[in-house]
Structure 1
C-alpha cells in the first residue's frame, strides 16, 4: 500500500474544503470498499478525509412525512430502523440482502451509493480496464461473461453496479443531497449513477469536492406495499445476478401506481420506466405484469454468456409483483 495522509475534519464545511483542496483526496466513511481497493492498488489516494465522526448519522422524519437518512448511518442500523421496516420494507430487505452482518455494521449509506463495481478486470491492476484506466480496453466486453450487464452498457464497459441499497432507493424515488465548494444541490438517485458511454471511469455525477450528506425518501402513498428480491449464486454474501425492487398500489383491481427497479443487469440501478408506464392503470393481473416486464426487457442486449439474465429478470419481477398484489390492504368499509 502506498503512503497516504489522514485527517478528521470537525465540520462538513471543513471536510469539503479539505477534499477540494487538491487532487487525490477521498472521503472515508466505513471504508468497506475504499480500503479494499487501496489494498489492491486500484485506489491510491493522496489523503483520506474521514467523515465518520461528523453528525451525519441520524434518521429523521421530514416535514412532508418522508425520511431523511444521514450519509454515515450504518447499513445495519438503517435496515433495523422502525421507520424503515414499517414504511419502506423494500429498503430494509435490500440492505439485509447485501454483504455480511459484520460489513453492514461498518458500511454507511453514502459509501454504499459510492461503492465501485466488483468486475474482476477493474479490481486486477495487471489487466486493462477502461473504468480504471480510460482507453486501456475492456476485456470483459469481448469475454461476454455471465456477471456482466444486459442493459445500458457500452463497448467501453459492461460492468454492473453492485449496490443492493441503491436499487431499492431507485424504486423509492429517493433524492441524494450533496454539499460541495459551490454549495448544496440535490440529485434524484435515478440520475446519480452514470451509464458508461465513452467515460466509464465516471461512476456518478458527483463533482470534485462534493460530499453526500443525506438521502431523502418521499412519504409512501397510503396503501403502497413494497418488496426486494435478489437472485445470486449463494444464499448469502454474494452480489446479485439479478435483483428486483418494486412498490405497488392497487385500487379496484387496477394498478394505481407502481415503481420497478432492477439490479445486477446494468452499470447503474435500472429504473424500469417503460414497464411502469405500461402498468399504470392496467389490471393487476399476471398477464398485464408479463406484458409490462417484457416491454421493459425488450431493449436488453445480452452478451454471449448472460442471456439467462433476461428470463431471470422477468421471472423475478413477475414474482415480486404477484406477491405485492396479494399483500394489498383490504378496502376500507
Structure 2
C-alpha cells in the first residue's frame, strides 16, 4: 500500500503456465501485491495467463502498456532481453527498444523496470541506443544486487534512478532431505549429493560441475543435473549432447533432461547437500534465491551479482580450480 491507499498496478511480464523463471517471479510478485490490497492487472504473452495478452514482439507489449497506462498508478515491467528481443531479427529489436522508450516517455515516473538481465550493449546499434534512453527515462530501475546496477550504468554509460530489491521466489516449505531423496529415487550413499537444476545451456556451466567431479575421482559423491532446454538451438542441443556423453564417463554423475515444475524444483533442492550454480554468465539467480528460501547451501561462481547475492553459508568460487576445491571440501565434510 502507498500511504494506506490501494494502487492500480499494471505488471508486464511472461507468466505461468509458460515455463519461465521470470514468469514465476512475476506470479509471486503479483500474489504479494494482491495480498497487500492492490489491484494488479497482468499483461502477458498469449501463452501466459494474463488479464491482457499480446504477442511479445516488435515492442507490442510496451506500446500497449503506454496506451492503457493512464488507468494505472504504477507500471512494472519485468525486463529480460529474451522476452522481448528475438534473435537475428534486427527490425524487431529496434521496435522493442523504441516501444520501451515510448513507454518511459509517456508514463515517466509511474514506470518501474525490474532488470533480471541486460545484454552487454553494442553502442553503435540503434536498438541499444534506444534501450539506454529507455533505462535512463524510467521512473525507477530495480536490480537484485548493486553489482548489477553498477554494471548496467557502466556498460550503457547512463545514470538511472536505481534501487536494489530482494530476489524473492515462490517456494513451498522444505521437504526433509531423506524424504525428498526417497521421492526422487536417490538411494543412500557415503558422499555428498550435489544438484544442478535449471535450463540446459552453455552459460549455466553445468559441464564445469561434471569436470569438478571427474577431478576428484570416485569419492562416493553424486551429482544430479536436472533440467531442460529452453531455447531449441543447435548450440544448446550440442551442449546437452556433449554433457550427456561426458557425464557417462564420470562416476556418480546423472543427467535427467526434462522440465521441472516449481514443486519438483523445490524437491531437488531439498534433496541436495549442496546446490551447485557454476554459471559462466549471470546477473542474479532465482536458483540461489530458491536455495536460500529452502535453507540449502550453494556453491556458486563469482559472476555478475552472484557473490553479492550469496549468503553466509554459501561457498563462492572464482574459477574451475575453486570449484574443484569446493567439491573436495564438501566430500571431506560428508565423511566427518
The two structures have a TM-score, normalised by structure 1, of 0.25
Higher relative CO (Cα under 8 Å, sequence separation at least 6) belongs to 1
Whose radius of gyration is greater, 1 or 2?
2
The two structures have a TM-score, normalised by structure 2, of 0.25
